[in-house]
Amino acid sequence: MCDLDRNANRIERKNTESLGFSSQTELYCCDWKSAVRKLTERGMLFDLIFLDPPYRMDDLREVFDRLVPLLQDDGLVIVEHEGGKPFLFGDRFEITDERKWGFCGVSFLKKIQDKSRLTEKGGEG
């Protein structure tokens, strides 16, 4: 888990401890770029990556580009966002499912394995 806000990080730590997951969880109190760099340097691979960026952040192409080396080939990225509002995620991923509950939307994306399917349009979702 990564959060730049110290208070949010403290609450996340408390929640993981109360749920009994503190030994299975790493918490980073830093910006997302620093956390991704640290995880990449360690060679970490994930089946699932959950993103909860600020709703005003609708251009996520840089985020998705940096997640490529962290995600297993069959892994998923789940993005929480403003429901019904498109966001940019680049050309290396595709949306496999979307859900909406009132103001909140959630999109499920996977890496495109077939390089012939990569497009230049920027992955507007």
SS3 content of the chain, % helix, strand, coil (to 5): 30, 30, 35
Which tens digit of pLDDT belongs to each residue from 105-125? 999 999 998 766 555 444 544
What pLDDT score does 125 carry? 47
Instruction: Give residue 56's pLDDT band: very low, low, confident or very high (50, 70, 90).
Output: confident
Q: Is the pLDDT of residue 51 over 60?
A: yes
* pTM as predicted: 0.83
Whether 82 contacts 66, CB under 8 Å: no
d(C-alpha 79, C-alpha 60), whole Å: 10
CATH 3.60.110.10 describes domain 44-117: no
Take residue 52 and report the two structure tokens written for it: 């909860």
How far is the CA of 83 from the CAs of 12, 35, 96, 112, in angstroms?
Answer: 25, 27, 16, 24
d(C-alpha 68, C-alpha 93), whole Å: 9
Of 51, 61, 9, 57, the residue nearest 30 (C-alpha):
9
Strand-pairing partners, residue 100, are 105
What pLDDT score does 37 carry? 96
What pLDDT score does 114 carry? 72
Whether 115 contacts 87, CB under 8 Å: no
Q: State what percent of residues in the chain have pLDDT above 70.
A: 91
What pLDDT score does 55 carry? 80
